[in-house]
Amino acid sequence: MIKKLKPGFVMLLTFFLAGLSSARSDWKFQTNQYLKQGEFLAALNFLESNLPNLEPGEKQEARALVPYLYHRSNLPDEEKKAIIDYFEEYGISQPLFDFLDFRVFTDVIEFWGEWREQYPLIDRLNFLVPAPAKERAIPEMIRLGFDLTAEAFYKIHLEGQPLEGGLWTKGLHLVQLPLPFSFDHPFSLNLDIFLKTKRITIKRRVVLEFKVETKSLQTQDLIVQRQDAPPVKSIEGEVALFIGDTLIYKATKYLQKQIPLKITIPPPNPPGTKPYLVPQKEQYPMHSVSILDAVAAIANVIKDWKKKPPEKTPAAFIPRAEISFSFFNPEKQSIRTDVTIKLKPEKPEPLSY
């Protein structure tokens, strides 16, 4: 049996929903009024109190105004934190701000135009694997690729140790890291990327997580598994980092064992011909071609060439979210180690310099 709601309760519920809908639709009007009157702190408090109740699309517009309000309220540290929060959440996309008064709109657009040019967002961060590389083969190094949205000075630290630095232009970039030597147990490495522009300096930490699993194979499994396993690499050189007597980091350069090539040398050619070339059945003085036949043959070749679709140049690197490879212990051939490397970027933090 359905109970009827009391008229008074229905009226209160209607007023509540109407008030909530009105608050969602009127926040733009009220914010615009605050900005026209130059009451930036009041607008900031109003937006922050209404953010939880806004729809996702409107929330992006409101969060885009928060850094501007911090800027006009002379709060630079809070402005930078709000800028980082916005760019890391929404990227470089910018709302229209079409609800603002024209005078306010012009100032907001100018503010955001400067930040879009000056915030060094690292976008599309992935591992880069050479296109001809075999599946689950041991990589010679770790390559990271990403798109940088603004020109910035940079420096890179791995586990607190500086690797390189310089100036990065806007666009795609590649970072190469040495592959660790030991995979006895799971571990992680901290890669810190420092980026500096005219308006902000940030530290972006990327954690490289190494998942290591060791499996002891039985005799039958060993025979099957080793048929497709990558060959064992011999060590060419290694670099180790110590603090006192404690080993902090170790990297090794490997040299892939090469399979010797068997080259068959053909027997000597008959006299009057070049070495190792198939002798011509008819020599030049004894053979001639009509000029008309030659022109017709060239025309047919050009016609066939136009019909063929253009060949696509393969990409030099393939982006991947993770890297996986396997290898066998040279000293214990029955033990296989499976390694998976994943990226876990952390939220950037602003620096004071």
DSSP state of 149: S
In a domain, 235, yes or no: yes
- Mind listing the pLDDT tens digit for each residue in 194-205? 999 999 999 999
Inside any domain, residue 28: yes
Domain stop point among 86, 118, 150: 118
- Considering the domain architecture, whether residues 158 and 232 belong to the same structural domain is answered as yes
User: What's the confidence (pLDDT) of residue 298?
Assistant: 59
Integer Cα distance of 250 and 241 in angstroms: 6
Residue 69 shares a structural domain with residue 145: no
Note the pLDDT of residue 263: 41
Task: Give the end of a domain, one of 69, 98, 118.
Answer: 118
Indicate whether 174 pLDDT > 90. Answer: yes
Q: What mean pLDDT is reported for the chain?
A: 78
CB 81 within 8 A of CB 350: yes
Question: Both 109 and 129 in a single domain?
Answer: no
pLDDT > 70? residue 188: yes
Higher pLDDT, 12 or 47: 47
- Residues 221-251 have pLDDT tens digits of 444 444 444 444 444 555 555 555 555 555 5
The reported pLDDT for the residue numbered 219 is: 53
HSE at residue 35, side-chain half, CA atoms within 13 A, is 26
Answer for the pair 177, 158: CB distance below 8 angstroms, yes or no: yes
- The rounded distance, in Å, linking the Cα atoms of 286 and 151 is 68
Flag whether 196 is in a domain. yes
Q: Are 38 and 94 within one domain?
A: yes
| pLDDT, average across residues 39-56 | 94
Instruction: Tell me the pLDDT tens digit for each residue of 299-337.
Output: 665 565 555 555 554 568 899 999 999 888 777 777 889
CATH of the domain at 86: 1.25.40
The predicted structure's pLDDT at residue 101: 94
How high is the pLDDT of residue 163? 93
Query: If you average pLDDT over residues 114-126, what whole number do you get?
Result: 96
Q: Is residue 40 part of a domain?
A: yes
Q: Averaged over 207-232, what is the pLDDT?
A: 66
Averaged pLDDT, 15-28: 55
170 or 334, higher pLDDT = 170
- Residues 145, 113 share a domain: no
Q: Which of 62-66, 109-113, 331-335 has the lowest mean pLDDT?
A: 331-335
pLDDT at position 132 is 79
At 247, list the tokens.
Answer: 């080993």
Total domains, the chain: 2
The pTM of this model reads: 0.68
pLDDT score at 304: 59
DSSP element (H, E) containing 78: helix 76-90
Longest CA pairwise span in the chain (Å): 115
293 falls within a domain: no
Whose CA is closest to 169, among 191, 183, 148, 187?
148
Decide if 148 contacts 173 (C-beta within 8 A). yes
- Name the helix (H) or strand (E) containing 11: helix 7-36
339 within domain boundaries: yes
Q: Are residues 187 and 336 in the same domain?
A: yes
% helix, strand, coil for the chain, step of 5: 35, 30, 35
Band of residue 27 on the pLDDT scale cut at 50, 70, 90: very high
pLDDT at 13 over 90: no
pLDDT of residue 279: 46
- Could you give the percent of the chain with pLDDT greater than 70? 65
Residues 24 and 58 in one domain: yes
Identify whether 184 is part of a domain.
yes
143 and 34 within one domain: no
User: Looking at residue 329, what is its pLDDT?
Assistant: 75
Token representation of residue 203: 């530290």
pLDDT exceeds 80 at position 218? no
Residues 184 and 114 in one domain: no
Q: b/e per residue, 291-322, with b = 16+ CB within 10 A?
A: eeeeeeeeeeeeeeeeeeeeeeeeeeeeeeee
pLDDT digits over 74-109, tens only? 999 999 999 999 999 999 988 899 999 999 999 999
Note whether 246 and 331 are same-domain residues. yes
Beta strands in the chain (DSSP E): 122-130, 142-148, 152-158, 161-168, 171-177, 187-196, 201-216, 234-243, 246-255, 317-320, 322-328, 335-345, 349-350
CB atoms within 10 A of CB 344: 10
Query: Of 13-22, 103-112, 330-339, where does the model show the most confidence?
Result: 103-112
Does 209 share its domain with 325? yes
User: In this structure, is residue 274 part of a structural domain?
Assistant: no
Q: In angstroms, rounded to a whole number, what is the distance separating the alpha carbons of residues 159 and 190? A: 5
Domain that holds residue 200: 122-259+318-350
From 61, 95, 118, the end of a domain falls on 118
Cβ within 8 Å of residue 288, ≥6 positions away = none
pLDDT over 90 at 50, yes or no: yes
Indicate whether 174 and 109 sit together in one domain.
no
